[in-house]
Amino acid sequence: MEDKKILFSAVQPSGILTIGNYLGAIKNWKNLQNDYNSIFSGADLHTLTVKQDPQTLRANSYQLAALFLACGLDPEKSIIFMQSHVPAHAELAWVLNTITYPGELSRMTQFKDKSQKHQENINMGLMDYPVLMAADILLYNTELVPIGADQKQHLELARDLAIRFNGRFGELFKVPEPYFGKTATRVMSLQEPTKKMSKSDANLNSFISMDDDKDTIIRKFKRAVTDSDNKIIFSEDKPGISNLLTIYSAFRGISIKEAEAEFEGKGYGDFKVKVGETVADVIDPIRQEKNRILSDKTYIDAVLKDGAERASRIAYKVLSKVYKKVGLLPRSR
């Protein structure tokens, strides 16, 4: 690989992604892959921490891989692979477990939230989630990790574990930095614009999935909850309109100010349709391309196989250094 900084990120194959996931992650990855040695993973082992139907998980993993490719991640430029295909992730997680304290994990916000939400299935994996994530990152001498704000605490743990390991066993891991991107796009629910847009929302009108077709997208935007003063401006007391302006400007690649200027004097009805059309113009071709790619599983398998091989080469070099540092015997070849 060329002498560029190493960047690692991952998304769980836990179901259809929303435009929030797209704007928050994959859309930016496409550009980042030109500037960094980029490694992108489907975090399938993480997905197991909440109950999965095996067949659905398999389908979702193909969906995610196809979406990566449809969004412009390029297997020639980046390493694209499934986490479970590189066993070094689970192996490093084990070693990192031995330097992690239960208190560090039990106080994680996401663990507490998910324990609330899945009270029938509070398992060790759910608690250990951030350690596996630290392993994902540290295995590649990663310098930059594009993440959403909700993953900040997890990245902090990865940094702590890198520093702790280095302190105890000698310099080895790079201490990774978060990468939040230029504009932090926080996409809210279309029905309750004070809540984050979520694909697990029971109200299907509250989110735009990457699988929605043009008509569905426009219909959902038409139904988006707003207010009644008919002014298209970004303001804290106008969460619905502000959210639509955020979405519109992110999809158009313009500032909120520019978006406001564009709609000055226009009514909510026209505005909503315009936002819907703009989103659909981007999402619809991606969906079609994703479905085209999905029809060729052999191709996806080949991409993932090549990605896993390239990832493994880096990961095992690092893992064998870890094993050596902690005092495990070298394996005879």
Considering only residues 6, 7, 9, 13, which one is a binding residue for ligand TRP as defined by CB under 6 A? Answer: 9
Residue 81: beta bridge partners?
41
DSSP 3-state of 82: strand
- Minimal distance in Å, beta carbon 275 to ligand TRP? 26
182 is catalytic: no
**Of 29 and 221, which has the nearer Cβ to ligand TRP?**
29
* Catalytic residue (one of 27, 174, 199, 272): 199
Angstrom distance (rounded) from CA 126 to CA 133: 12
Q: Is 212 within 8 Å of 166 (Cβ atoms)?
A: no
Positions in 153-212 near ligand TRP (CB under 6 A): none
Helices (H) and strands (E) in the chain, counts: 14, 5
**Of 187 and 245, which has the nearer Cβ to ligand TRP?**
187
Considering only residues 6, 12, 174, 211, which one is a binding residue for ligand TRP as defined by CB under 6 A? Answer: 12
Considering only residues 6, 19, 138, 147, which one is a binding residue for ligand TRP as defined by CB under 6 A? Answer: 147
The structure tokens listed for 61 are: 């993993």
**Of 135 and 244, which has the nearer Cβ to ligand TRP?**
135
222 is catalytic: no
Q: Is 135 within 8 Å of 179 (Cβ atoms)?
A: no
Residue 9 burial (CB count, 10 A)? 23
- Minimal distance in Å, beta carbon 156 to ligand TRP? 12
Task: Write the CB contacts of 30 (distance below 8 Å, at least 6 apart in sequence).
Answer: 71, 72, 73
Angstrom distance (rounded) from CA 150 to CA 221: 26
114 is catalytic: yes
**Of 9 and 226, which has the nearer Cβ to ligand TRP?**
9
* Catalytic residue (one of 5, 30, 196, 214): 196
- Minimal distance in Å, beta carbon 77 to ligand TRP? 19
> Does 10 sit near ligand TRP (CB under 6 A)?
yes
Considering only residues 151, 191, 206, 209, which one is a binding residue for ligand TRP as defined by CB under 6 A? Answer: 151
CA distances from 273 to 30, 135, 191, 277, 283 (A): 27, 44, 16, 6, 15
- Minimal distance in Å, beta carbon 264 to ligand TRP? 37
# binding residues, ligand TRP (CB under 6 A): 13
Considering only residues 43, 188, 208, 244, which one is a binding residue for ligand TRP as defined by CB under 6 A? Answer: 43
- Minimal distance in Å, beta carbon 142 to ligand TRP? 8
Q: Is 178 within 8 Å of 161 (Cβ atoms)?
A: no
Residue 131 burial (CB count, 10 A)? 25
For the packed helices 54-70 and 268-294, what is the interaxial angle rounded to 10 degrees?
110
**Of 129 and 248, which has the nearer Cβ to ligand TRP?**
129
* Catalytic residue (one of 114, 174, 238, 274): 114
Q: Is 18 within 8 Å of 64 (Cβ atoms)?
A: no
Considering only residues 19, 96, 145, 294, which one is a binding residue for ligand TRP as defined by CB under 6 A? Answer: 145
Angstrom distance (rounded) from CA 230 to CA 234: 12
**Of 108 and 217, which has the nearer Cβ to ligand TRP?**
108
**Of 133 and 315, which has the nearer Cβ to ligand TRP?**
133
The structure tokens listed for 190 are: 């279309």
Angstrom distance (rounded) from CA 40 to CA 43: 9
Show which residues are catalytic: 114, 196, 199
Give the binding site for ligand TRP (CB under 6 A): 8-12, 43, 46, 133, 136-137, 145, 147, 151
